[in-house]
């Protein structure tokens, strides 16, 4: 019997009873995700979709594990991420955007940003980036990872991903549907890898997922649509797989992190991202003074930088500064070295079999 406020320890999903509980929770989350996205799949209602998924996810975690709201959100992958995993995800996401200049170089057709792209960008990040990753990585993969190796957990997740993409096959035709199924199945591997290496958080995977679905921000000329779709599928498969070449030890900093020795050590990573974002904005500004093609390239570079990268970096910088201040005050009061609870990073409570693929 689980007492009020007590969290039920998670166990491997192996018995019929555990599979029934797991699949019931998954069915609820998938129904909420697909039901709300049916209102409009463009991303305009992304924040509404995300809100519904988080409410449903919190309820499912409470029923299955007895987790309260804050605990449930951390378990679903909304904890503090790894800086290195985020940097790798941002780099991979930027490389995915090469699909647009490649399309132009092959077809001479220029994809153009939609007039409402800023709002769409926020919605796409909320819907495809956060809400979908909460379902796939934060719930399904995380629970299937308990007691399993990385490779086995990913393989068990793939059929669930395929089921969710069957409607695309029906409504969009075999070409788009099969491409979507392939991309979803293959990217399940690197996105799960980023989840594991990102301290069991969805943020790095959400950045890459958003980059893949950023095609909803542009209007592609009809003559170039087939070429663009094939190129997008290829880039969306190849680029995320590159993250697997990065050793796990290079991405993960472990479950705990010592307090930084000074303010610069605390904020150096987010400051670095801000500097890179500033360089991209400067490049976009320079391109904006050139030809029509250069101006369109400037918008494609500048839009994700201004509306995704800079806000994320600024938020990251703010939290890093607050965490440093908290650890500094706690150290001053207790005289500790700062390696205890003040700087203990939030990770999944799961005890995993951390074998390789």
pTM of the model: 0.73
The residue count of the chain comes to: 357
What does the pLDDT look like over 120-154, one tens digit per residue? 999 999 999 999 999 999 999 999 999 999 999 99
Residue 201 has pLDDT above 90, yes or no: yes
Above 70 in pLDDT, residue 171?
Answer: yes
Judge whether residue 259 has pLDDT over 60. no
Q: Which of 58-62, 122-126, 310-314 has the lowest mean pLDDT?
A: 310-314
Contact 242, 71 (CB under 8 A): no
Q: How far apart are CA 189 and CA 244, in angstroms?
A: 8
Most confident of 147-156, 173-182, 227-236, 266-275: 147-156
The answer to whether 49 and 127 have CB atoms below 8 angstroms apart is yes
- How high is the pLDDT of residue 293? 66
pLDDT of residue 283: 78
Q: Quote the pLDDT of residue 6.
A: 54
Pairing verdict, β 218-219 and 112-113 = antiparallel
* pLDDT for residue 345 is more than 50: no
Look up tokens 């369109």; give the residue: 296
Q: Please give the Cα distance from 97 to 220 (Å, whole number).
A: 14
Rounded to an integer, the average pLDDT of 10-19 is 90
Does residue 77 carry a pLDDT above 90? Answer: yes
Whether 57 has a pLDDT exceeding 90, the answer reads yes
Q: Tell me what pLDDT residue 255 has.
A: 46
């Amino acid at each position: 019997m689980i007492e009020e406020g007590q969290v039920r320890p998670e166990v491997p999903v192996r018995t019929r009873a555990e599979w029934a509980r797991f699949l019931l929770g998954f069915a609820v989350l998938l129904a909420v995700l697909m039901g709300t996205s049916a209102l409009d799949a463009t991303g305009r209602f992304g924040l509404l979709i995300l809100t519904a998924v988080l409410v449903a996810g919190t309820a499912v975690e409470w029923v299955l594990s007895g987790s309260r709201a804050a605990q449930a959100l951390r378990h679903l992958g909304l904890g503090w991420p790894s800086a290195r995993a985020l940097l790798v995800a941002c780099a991979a996401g930027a490389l995915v955007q090469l699909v647009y200049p490649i399309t132009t170089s092959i077809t001479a057709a220029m994809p153009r940003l939609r007039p409402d792209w800023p709002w769409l960008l926020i919605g796409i990040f909320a819907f495809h980036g956060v809400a979908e990753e909460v379902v796939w990585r934060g719930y399904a993969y995380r629970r299937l990872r308990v007691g399993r190796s990385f490779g086995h957990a990913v393989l068990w997740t793939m059929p669930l991903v395929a089921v969710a993409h069957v409607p695309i096959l029906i409504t969009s035709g075999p070409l788009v549907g099969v491409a979507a199924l392939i991309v979803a199945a293959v990217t399940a591997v690197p996105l799960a890898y980023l989840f594991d290496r990102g301290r069991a958080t969805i943020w790095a995977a959400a950045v890459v997922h958003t980059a893949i679905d950023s095609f909803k921000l542009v209007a592609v000329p009809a003559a170039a649509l087939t070429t663009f779709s094939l190129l997008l599928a290829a880039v969306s498969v190849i680029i995320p797989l590159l993250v697997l070449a990065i050793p796990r030890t290079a991405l993960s900093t472990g479950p705990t992190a010592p307090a930084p020795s000074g303010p610069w050590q605390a904020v150096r990573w987010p400051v670095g991202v801000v500097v890179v974002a500033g360089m991209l904005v400067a490049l976009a500004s320079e391109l904006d003074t050139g030809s029509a093609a250069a101006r369109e390239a400037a918008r494609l570079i500048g839009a994700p930088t201004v509306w995704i990268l800079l806000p994320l970096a600024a938020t990251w910088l703010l939290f890093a500064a607050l965490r440093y201040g908290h650890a500094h005050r706690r150290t001053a009061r207790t005289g500790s070295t700062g390696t205890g609870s003040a700087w203990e990073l939030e990770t999944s409570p799961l005890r995993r079999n951390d074998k390789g693929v």
